[in-house]
Amino acid sequence: MRPRPITGAALTGALLLGLTACGVGKPSPWITAPEVFYLRPLGDKSGPSDKEPFHLRAEDGRGAGGRRLTADVVGGSEDAVRLRGSGGCKGGATHVTCEVGAEYNNWADLARVSPVAAKGSKPGDTGVVRFTYTTKDGKRLTARTRFVVGEPVVEALVPKSLEHVGPGAEVTSPVVVRNTGEVPVVGLGLELSSGGLEFEKRYANCRYPEISHHHIAVCRFPDLRIAPGETVVLRPALRLRAPETQMYTSFGRDVWALDMGPGQYGSYPKGGDHGDGPTLDAEVTKDTKGTFAKGGGHTYLALDTHADYEVSGADLHGAPGTKRSLRLTVRNNGPADSGSSTRLVFSPPFGLTLLKQPMEEYDDGVFKPYCESNDFTYTCDVGELGPGKSRTFEFTVRLGDPGQGTVSLLDKDPPSEFDFGRHDPDPSNDEATITVGP
C-alpha cells in the first residue's frame, strides 16, 4: 500500500502540534518598571505639565488569580521614598503585598502601589524600590526603580505671535530652554515643528522624519545637564521661510527631560535622516526675557497680506410656481489663503420656496443639511478656499412673486486672538443681489 501524501494543511497541523508540545510560542512571564522616576516633594502639587504617571506592568500568560506583587523599599532608602498601597493591597510604608492577575497594569487595576516622597526628604534625595511579581508557577520576577525627590521642570521660550511678516520672508526665532524644577535636567529632548513654514537650515544633529514631510525636527542632547534655575540657548537660532499665500500659520517647539519622556500624551515621530546644516549646540545664558511655557508651545504668525473674496448673485426669471436652480458662488481672488474664516449668508426673496439645499453625509448613507437655517436665512461655511479657487452652493427653488434677496459674506469668530480675518481690500464685492422677476 502506497503511503498517502502529506498535504499542506496536514503538514501545518503537524508543525503546530510539535511547537505546542515543545512549549514554543508560549509567552514568557515578565515585569517592567521605569529605571528612574521623579517624585514631587511631599505636599507640593506643582511640577511639569503632562507628566507620565508611574507605570508598572507584569504578565504571566492567562488564567485567573494566583499571582502576587510585592514592593519593598531597599534598605537605606527609607528617608527618600515610602509606599502607599490601595485596592486591597496590604502592608506598610516600606513593604506592600498585592494579589493581582495574569495581566497586571497599575494604570488600570485597582490593586496598586504608589511610591511617594518620604516625610522630611529633600530635593535630590534618592531611593530604590524593588518590585517582585510571583507567577502562578511560583517564579519570581523583579524590577527596580530609582526614585528621585524633586523634578526637573523644562520650559521653552515661546513668543506668542509675530505680526506683519512678509509673504516668503525669512523668520528667525531663538531656541531657549530653562529648568525651573528642583533637580537637574539629565539629557534634553527637543522637537521643532515648522508648521506651515519651511526649515531654512536643517541641523546636523537632528532627525527629520519623512512621515512629517520634513516639517518636524527631533533632537536629542543626552549629555546636556541643566541645573535648577539655569537657562540655556541652543545655537544657531531657528531659521524658517514663511509661506507665500497663507495668511495665518504657526511653528512650535516641545521640550522634555530625556529620562522623563515627552509626557503622558506626548509623542514624536521616529526615524528620519539627519540634516545637512550646522550642529545645534547649547550654552548657558543669563538672558531669560520673554514668555516661557512648560513643555513648550506654538508661535503664531500673521502674514502681511490679504484675501479678496467675491460672491456672485443671480437673476431668476419665471412665473410664480416655476422651479429654478440657484447657484451661489464664492471666489477667492487672492493673493492669499485666509483659512476657514468665512461664511456665506443667503437671505431669499420673500415668497421664494426652497425645495432642495446642499447636504452633507455625517454617517454612512445618512445626510443632513449643510447650511444652518434660521428665520428664512441660510448660513453656510465656505471652508478652505485657496487663491483662485471657488465654491458653489446649489439650491433648487420655487419662484414666488417678484422680489429681491441678498447673499453676503460674513467673517466667523476667529479661532485665536492672532487671527485678524481676511483683510479684504474690496468689501464691496462681499454682497450681491438675488432678483426674482418675470
pLDDT of residue 246: 92
Burial class (CB in 10 A: 0-12, 13-18, 19+), 397: buried
Are 346 and 371 in contact, with CB atoms under 8 Å apart? Answer: yes
Band the pLDDT of 62: cuts 50, 70, 90: confident
Mean pLDDT for the chain overall:
91
pLDDT by residue (tens digit) across 367-409?
999 999 987 899 999 999 999 999 999 999 999 999 999 999 9
Band the pLDDT of 39: cuts 50, 70, 90: very high
Q: Is 178 helix (H, G, I), strand (E, B) or coil?
A: strand
Residue 7 scores a pLDDT above 50: no
- The secondary structure of 20-34 as a DSSP string is HHHTTTPPPPEEE--
The residue type found at 392 is T
Encode 173-190: b = buried (16+ Cβ within 10 Å), e = exposed: bebbbbbbbbbbbbbbbb
Residue 140 scores a pLDDT above 60: yes
Band the pLDDT of 419: cuts 50, 70, 90: confident
pLDDT of residue 2: 37
Dihedral sign for Cα 187, 284, 266, 130, please.
positive
pLDDT of residue 24: 53
Report the distance separating Cα 39 and Cα 80, nearest Å: 10
Band the pLDDT of 418: cuts 50, 70, 90: confident
Residue 135 scores a pLDDT above 70: yes
pLDDT of residue 429: 96
Residue 6 scores a pLDDT above 60: no
Report the distance separating Cα 221 and Cα 243, nearest Å: 30
- The secondary structure of 125-153 as a DSSP string is -EEEEEEEEE-TTS-EEEEEEEEEES---
Residue 1 scores a pLDDT above 80: no
